[in-house]
């Protein structure tokens, strides 16, 4: 096989995996929209705000105490540094230990953050803590599968989890009218199912294999902590607005704003569908091939998100009223405020993934840390003045800063111009034209067949 045919095979594999992930994301989005609309109508803004706070608690536990080891395990497997069974053993043991440390830290520091969780029963907080453990194990297992190039298996596990969650929520919230408790129990059960699915997919490596050599621990912790800093700072960038809204405006505003965030982030299914295949391919590709793949993905993501945002401006308000009810009508305005940041965010996310796959996870951390400081300041100034719209504007400003910083560093490292990264080139336009022609031909043939 020639080098050109090998390159073509890798390119085809990347696009097939991205297409598979995109198709899975679309199904997940459909399930999420239907389930979310049903839950929002039953719970209302205030209880939805409480649900968002429980989710915030679970993700805080995951983000702060996973130590970025998922990214480290994925990188180590992609580079074939250690036995798979060693990495799986380390994932299970370290996940449980780090979670226990997290629960202890949360309990001991309760007086420092108790105001955020005011009004939430203790049993809901326990469910949030258990969700944090499951999120850690799911992240480790998923990243191991990504390192092995098993993108379709990752998609299958996510799809199974979503279907189970939807089914349980329908039964608990709608049929038995268990409210917020039913929603949380359904979510917890679905994450257990996802863990079992991932365990089955990695069953050949699920046996204890000693991993506590100094080299293994040092290398994985070094890479993991670099990625961990990025994960934590990114998480704060994504969710600090919820905590500040709770402080300034209460549960009702959190419920209104969380719906706007959820709608806006649905648009990320395009760049998200490329993240796992991109990391897997860039980590094992030569520098030039991986960079070109990343840049095309960035350009196409920006184009598609811009088009989706234009559509969202016109259909967002009627869609919210139709799906979620008039109680959530005010979610449209923070949704609009979030759109500029949503469109630019793929620049940060995809370029950071590319750099991390080349062993440079610290660059994204720098960009996100700068943006976090701006985000907190902007939220504290804008929320008291503009409420939920201010939170949306602050988030957009933060995403713009993140993207600008990582873009500048990527250009410097890879000697690329702004035009090469963001502007569609002749090859892109030819590809788009070819896709449109092919789609038109298929539609024409279908119409002709229907008439015949």
Summarize pLDDT for 104-162 with one digit per residue, the tens.
999 999 999 998 898 899 999 999 999 999 999 999 999 999 888 887 888 888 889 98
Tokens for 27, please give them: 């199904």
Same domain, 73 and 209: yes
Is 380 among the domain residues?
A: yes
**Beta strand extents in 185-280 (DSSP E only):** none
Is 309 among the domain residues?
A: yes
Is 305 among the domain residues?
A: yes
Tokens for 58, please give them: 């679970």
CB atoms within 10 A of CB 342: 25
| Cβ pair 399, 342 in contact under 8 A | yes
Place of tokens 């993108």: 151
Domain hosting 427: range is: 418-452
pLDDT-above-70 percentage for the chain? 89
Is 228 among the domain residues?
A: yes
pLDDT at 7 over 50: no
Distance CA 71, CA 230 (A): 11
Is 272 among the domain residues?
A: yes
Same domain, 429 and 410: no
Same domain, 151 and 66: yes
Grade residue 98 by pLDDT with cuts at 50, 70 and 90: very high
Grade residue 386 by pLDDT with cuts at 50, 70 and 90: very high
Same domain, 145 and 74: yes
32-38 contacts: CB < 8 A, separation 24 or more?
32/162, 32/262, 32/266, 33/266, 33/323, 34/166, 35/165, 35/166, 35/169, 35/170, 36/259, 36/262, 36/323, 36/324, 37/323, 37/324, 38/169, 38/170, 38/173, 38/174
In this structure, the chain runs to a length of 452
CB atoms within 10 A of CB 241: 29
pLDDT at 6 over 50: no
Distance CA 416, CA 423 (A): 12
Same domain, 330 and 402: yes
Same domain, 238 and 382: yes
In tens, the pLDDT along 189-210 reads 999 999 999 999 888 877 777 8
pLDDT at 15 over 70: no
In tens, the pLDDT along 266-297 reads 887 666 655 445 444 554 445 555 577 788 88
Same domain, 72 and 143: yes
DSSP letters spanning 287-328: HHHHHHHHHHHHHHHHHHHHHHHHHHHHHHHHHHHHHH-GGG
- State residue 405's pLDDT score: 92
Same domain, 313 and 439: no
> Number of folded domains in the chain?
2
- Residue 33, CA distances (Å) to 26, 114, 155, 391, 424 in order: 10, 31, 18, 23, 32
- State residue 311's pLDDT score: 94
Same domain, 441 and 378: no
Same domain, 347 and 366: yes
- Residue 35, CA distances (Å) to 41, 250, 330 in order: 10, 24, 20
- State residue 5's pLDDT score: 46
Give helix 214-248 / helix 3-65 axis angle, nearest 10°: 60
Same domain, 423 and 411: no
Same domain, 44 and 181: yes
Is 55 among the domain residues?
A: yes
Is 3 among the domain residues?
A: no
Distance CA 377, CA 292 (A): 36
User: Among 171-185, 190-204, 344-358, whose mean pLDDT is lowest?
Assistant: 344-358
| Cβ pair 52, 258 in contact under 8 A | yes
Give me the phi and psi of 359, to 5 degrees please.
90, 20
- State residue 345's pLDDT score: 85
Is 1 among the domain residues?
A: no
- State residue 20's pLDDT score: 65
In tens, the pLDDT along 296-327 reads 888 888 888 898 899 999 999 999 999 998 89
């Amino acid at each position: 096989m020639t080098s050109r045919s090998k390159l073509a095979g890798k390119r085809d594999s990347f696009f097939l995996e991205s297409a598979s992930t995109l198709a899975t994301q679309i199904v997940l989005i459909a399930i999420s929209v239907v389930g979310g609309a049903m839950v929002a109508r039953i719970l209302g803004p205030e209880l939805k705000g409480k649900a968002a706070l429980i989710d915030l608690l679970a993700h805080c536990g995951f983000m702060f105490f996973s130590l970025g080891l998922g990214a480290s395990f994925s990188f180590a497997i992609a580079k074939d540094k250690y036995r798979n069974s060693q990495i799986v053993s380390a994932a299970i043991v370290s996940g449980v230990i780090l979670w226990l440390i997290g629960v202890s830290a949360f309990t001991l520091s309760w007086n420092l953050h108790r105001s955020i969780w005011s009004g939430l029963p203790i049993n809901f907080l326990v469910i949030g803590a258990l969700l944090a453990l499951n999120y850690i194990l799911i992240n480790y297992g998923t990243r191991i599968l990504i390192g092995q190039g098993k993108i379709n298996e990752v998609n299958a596990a996510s799809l199974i989890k979503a279907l189970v969650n939807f089914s349980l929520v329908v039964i608990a919230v709608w049929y038995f009218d268990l409210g917020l408790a039913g929603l949380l129990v359904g979510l917890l059960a679905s994450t257990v199912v996802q863990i079992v699915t991932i365990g089955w997919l990695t069953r050949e490596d699920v046996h204890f294999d000693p991993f506590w050599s100094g080299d293994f621990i040092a290398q994985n912790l070094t890479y993991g902590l670099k990625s961990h800093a990025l994960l934590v700072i990114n998480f704060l960038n994504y969710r600090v607005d919820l905590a500040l809204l709770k402080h300034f405006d209460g549960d009702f505003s959190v419920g209104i704003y969380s719906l706007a965030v959820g709608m806006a982030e649905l648009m990320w299914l395009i760049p998200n569908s490329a993240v796992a295949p991109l990391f897997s391919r860039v980590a094992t590709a030569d520098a030039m091939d991986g960079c070109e793949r990343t840049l095309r993905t960035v350009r196409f993501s920006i184009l598609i998100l811009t088009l989706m945002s234009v559509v969202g401006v016109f259909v967002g308000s009627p869609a919210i009223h139709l799906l979620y009810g008039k109680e959530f009508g005010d979610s449209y305005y923070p949704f609009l405020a979030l759109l500029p940041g949503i469109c630019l965010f793929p620049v940060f996310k995809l370029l950071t993934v590319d750099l991390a796959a080349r062993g440079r996870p610290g660059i994204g951390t720098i960009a996100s840390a700068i943006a976090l400081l701006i985000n907190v300041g902007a939220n504290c100034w804008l929320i008291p003045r503009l409420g939920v719209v201010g939170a949306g504007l602050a988030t957009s400003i933060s995403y713009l800063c993140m993207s600008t910083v990582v873009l500048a560093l990527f250009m410097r490292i890879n000697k690329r111009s702004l035009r090469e990264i963001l502007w569609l080139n002749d090859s892109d336009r030819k590809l788009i034209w070819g896709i449109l022609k092919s789609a038109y031909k298929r539609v024409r043939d279908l119409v002709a067949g229907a008439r015949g």
